[in-house]
């Protein structure tokens, strides 16, 4: 009896092995698509459904119907949301803050990454660790002294204050990513440029920056979404409607007692649209960059 179960088991393992060993047979392809289909339903269906609902009327949204008919489709939610002055302010603020943060992190990060990659000085290794260890800090721990500091610097309720706050969150990982990419550029290229009389700054401009472009795209993308998506720091620093960004605006909107879900969902779609478009443009570098970033230290 025991032996028969044993052989059954071995039989099963062999069959699984044989199945896994096959090259791409139709049956195997169907299996793979089935698995991908489950992941698709789990990860993407909710997003797609939200986008569809954002184009339907309020009557449909609050009805116990699952699938909208063509009659239910309308652009009214977007018209209402986009015509609201406060929402437009939040959108522009988000755009200004995320763009400025990205530019600041990239300029400071390229300099620091170049320094850590090409120069040898006392404390270099420790500095990189110090940069990265800030990623471990619970932001809630530093929130209060941080707020008091910004207050004494007169940076509360200003877009500049938000840009600085987002930048310091983005600099450590940005610098680390850029250093990794600069490390991959052969140093002989710098030397050749220096032979031709280039200063460090022009080596940076003519050799490093063009060759590190994929890394700059990854670091820039990462910083932009970090800034665009942040809620916590903005909620502490922004005190009037004039300095609110989209995530903070959305939170105030969804925390009201009676939520106009049709408008909230349209606003949410508009909020995620820019980062998704940016991702679509940059995904070639970003997907590979993020993936290889983790392996750089290997």
Partner 1 sequence: MATQTESQFSRYKEEFASFLTDTWIGYAFVIPAAILLAVVIGYPTLRGLYLAFFEVSLLNPEQMEFVGLQHFRALAADPIFKAALWHTVLLTALAVSFQYLLGLGLALALKEKVPGAGIFRSLSMVTWVMPIIVMVIIFRFMVQNGFGPVNIILDSFGMRTTYWFGEPGVAFPLIVLMHVWRNVPFYAISLLAAMNSIPKEQYEAARLDGAGPLERFRYVTLPQISYVSMIMIVLHVTFTFKNFDIVYLSTGGGPLGNTEVLATYVYKQAFEQYALGYGASIGVVMLILMLTFTIIYVKLEEVD
Residue 134 is given by DSSP the state: G
The answer to whether 244 and 195 are in contact (CB under 8 A) is: no
By CB under 8 A, what part of segment 91-120 binds partner 1? 108-109, 111-112, 114-116, 118-120
Q: Which residues, in sequence order, are bridge partners of residue 73?
A: 56
On the CB side of 10, CA atoms within 13 Å amount to 6
By CB under 8 A, what part of segment 18-57 binds partner 1? 20-21, 24, 28-29, 32-33, 35-36, 39-40, 42-44, 46-47, 49-50, 53
Shortest Å distance, C-beta 96 to partner 1: 17
**Does 257 sit near partner 1 (CB under 8 A)?**
no
What CA–CA distance (Å, rounded) separates 114 from 206? Answer: 13
For partner 1, give the closer residue by CB, 189 or 275: 275
**Does 152 sit near partner 1 (CB under 8 A)?**
no
| Closest by Cα among 229, 237, 255 to 94 | 229
Shortest Å distance, C-beta 50 to partner 1: 5
Which of 1, 2, 195, 295 lies at the binding interface for partner 1 (CB under 8 A)? 295
Shortest Å distance, C-beta 132 to partner 1: 11
Shortest Å distance, C-beta 79 to partner 1: 20
**Does 229 sit near partner 1 (CB under 8 A)?**
yes
Shortest Å distance, C-beta 5 to partner 1: 19
The answer to whether 223 and 105 are in contact (CB under 8 A) is: yes
Which of 2, 4, 129, 138 lies at the binding interface for partner 1 (CB under 8 A)? 138
The set of residues, in sequence order, having a beta carbon less than 8 Å from that of 282 and lying 6+ positions away, is 217, 218, 221
**Does 239 sit near partner 1 (CB under 8 A)?**
no
Residue 231: in which H helix or E strand, if any?
none
The answer to whether 208 and 110 are in contact (CB under 8 A) is: yes
By CB under 8 A, what part of segment 57-86 binds partner 1? 61-66
By CB under 8 A, what part of segment 197-226 binds partner 1? 200, 225
What CA–CA distance (Å, rounded) separates 200 from 223? Answer: 26
For partner 1, give the closer residue by CB, 1 or 113: 113
**Does 196 sit near partner 1 (CB under 8 A)?**
no
The CA angle 66-250-152, to the nearest 5 degrees, is 165
Which of 90, 159, 247, 263 lies at the binding interface for partner 1 (CB under 8 A)? 247
Q: In Å, how far are 1, 9, 112, 288 from 295, measured between CA atoms?
A: 50, 38, 21, 11
For partner 1, give the closer residue by CB, 40 or 242: 40
């Amino acid at each position: 009896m025991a032996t028969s179960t044993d052989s059954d088991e071995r039989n099963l393992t062999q069959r699984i092995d044989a199945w896994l060993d096959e090259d791409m047979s139709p049956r195997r392809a169907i299996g793979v698509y089935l698995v991908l289909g489950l992941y698709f339903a789990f990860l993407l269906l909710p997003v797609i459904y939200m986008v569809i609902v954002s184009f339907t009327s309020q009557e449909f949204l609050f009805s116990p119907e699952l699938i909208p008919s063509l009659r239910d489709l309308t652009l009214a939610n977007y018209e209402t949301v986009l015509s609201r002055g406060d929402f437009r302010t939040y959108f522009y603020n988000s755009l200004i803050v995320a763009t400025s943060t990205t530019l600041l992190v990239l300029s400071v990060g390229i300099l620091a990454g170049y320094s850590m990659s090409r120069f040898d000085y006392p404390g270099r290794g420790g500095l990189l660790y110090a940069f990265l260890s800030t990623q471990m800090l619970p932001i809630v721990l530093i929130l209060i002294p941080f707020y008091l500091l910004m207050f004494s610097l007169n940076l509360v309720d200003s877009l500049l204050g938000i840009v600085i706050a987002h930048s310091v969150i983005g600099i450590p990982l940005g610098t680390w990513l850029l250093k990794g990419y600069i490390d991959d550029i052969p140093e002989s290229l710098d030397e050749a440029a220096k032979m031709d009389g280039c200063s460090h700054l022009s080596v940076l401009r003519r050799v490093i920056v063009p060759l590190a472009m994929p890394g700059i795209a990854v670091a820039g993308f990462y910083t932009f979404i970090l800034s665009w998506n942040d809620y916590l720091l903005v909620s502490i620093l922004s005190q009037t409607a004039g300095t609110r960004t989209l995530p903070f605006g959305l939170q105030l909107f969804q925390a009201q007692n009676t939520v106009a879900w049709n408008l909230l969902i349209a606003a949410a779609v508009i909020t995620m649209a820019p980062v998704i478009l940016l991702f679509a443009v940059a995904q070639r570098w970003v997907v590979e960059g993020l993936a290889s970033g983790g392996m750089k230290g290997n």
